[in-house]
Structure 1
């Protein structure tokens, strides 16, 4: 963990346009997340939409073990070339943590291959995130559930592929439920979608939410023990007749 390098990406729009959000996150949502991860021993850097190449240059991604992504108002402003670059790094083994309304980000929809649409409601209602898989590393240190006094509701149906593991399932005061903690693998990369994080509520100041994000970063980080494999044209393992040259390659 101490050597895990995390780039915390945020579109950084609401904090500059909305006084309520700026008061909750004076250093931006990215600043709050990066600080919480740094306190837990991670090597953190931040990047935002407004930077050249959105702060996600090839050099930055080469040095990133896990990328966290928060977006909401400016999904369409993310350059497609940067999305493709991030995707290739995920497929090559970089971890990706997708937060709250980044379910609609270009990168998450590209990796899921679905609309990632859902129901939603802003009513500052209570949310309980129930731990579905307490043995999963992302749930380490979390009791039966996390309770948030104020949350934006996300409700089913959530148009995503079946998760590899459903770690958290949410219940909302208005009655809806939602798959709030979903793990996936794409190529060599691990992906975790984590629902909480609406910008007008101080969700990322909550210690249990911070713990989950930190657990997810540690889980998603590439492992030195990752299996190696070869691809492309392969020599036969056994003796066979290779004289057949019918090919379009």
Structure 2
């Protein structure tokens, strides 16, 4: 079995600037996710904002089957050249998993076709219950009726995104709001999964069920290796009879 090549991208700014975040993720969110989903099925590399080309060179993306994206405080610092590079790779078939505040990333907005993917939010150490609403979907394989997180940041509707191809999770928060927390999209030959949990001050990426969802999503989003569609003026496959 050929391993799925996974690149985990993280700004890696909160962890080096905020001691509270460093306590939770001393090696960075990207390394926590890498450790949490590591298996013989996946060949994992990481990349961060501060690296040359943000760690996402043409060669790295060419060698990536699924890209996992976590960003928050530096969306505007991501170079448009890199964004366009990732965008092309998704259309070519690379899977993309966008986590938590990546909803405001340049790449997610570009793929959604919207200038902003805004929502309500609040930090109040609230309980979150992520209800599975599509029990037949492979992304929730091995997950029960819901995942419960004792403390998370609240995201609330309205979530300003296009209607998803599939709705996998709906979250309920202790303060009363609900949110579409697991959405899938297809763009070109690529598959996209947006997954809401993961605020940087909580150990969400150490939760076995959250990590299982991310692992399942990697398997789901990996390229199908289908033939690329052909566009433009095309020669006929059959001989066209001359019209009299």
TM category (shorter chain) comes to over 0.9
Partner of 1:143: 144
Shift in alpha-carbon separation, 1:238–1:40, aligned structure 2, 3 A:
closer
Partner of 1:45: 45
Partner of 1:165: 166
Residues 64-117 of structure 1: per-residue CA shift (max 9 Å, x gap):
000000000000000000000000000000000000000000000000012210
CA contact (8 A) 2:120 2:156 kept: yes
Are 2:131 and 1:130 aligned? Answer: yes
Q: What SS class does the counterpart of residue 98 from structure 2 fall into?
A: strand
Distance in 1 (alpha carbons) for counterparts of 2:228 and 2:74: 38
1:49: how far off? Answer: 0.1
Distance in 2 (alpha carbons) for counterparts of 1:31 and 1:242: 65
Are 2:1 and 1:9 aligned? Answer: no
1:3: how far off? Answer: 1.0
Shift in alpha-carbon separation, 1:239–1:94, aligned structure 2, 3 A:
same
Shift in alpha-carbon separation, 1:235–1:35, aligned structure 2, 3 A:
same
Distance in 2 (alpha carbons) for counterparts of 1:136 and 1:85: 29
1:232: how far off? Answer: 2.7
Q: What is the number of equivalent residue pairs in this alignment?
A: 242
Q: CA RMSD in A?
A: 1.5
- The unaligned stretches of length 5 or more in structure 1 are 244-249
TM-score (norm 2): 0.95
Distance in 2 (alpha carbons) for counterparts of 1:190 and 1:65: 11
Alignment of 1:189-228 (within 5 A): 189-224=190-225, 226-228=226-228
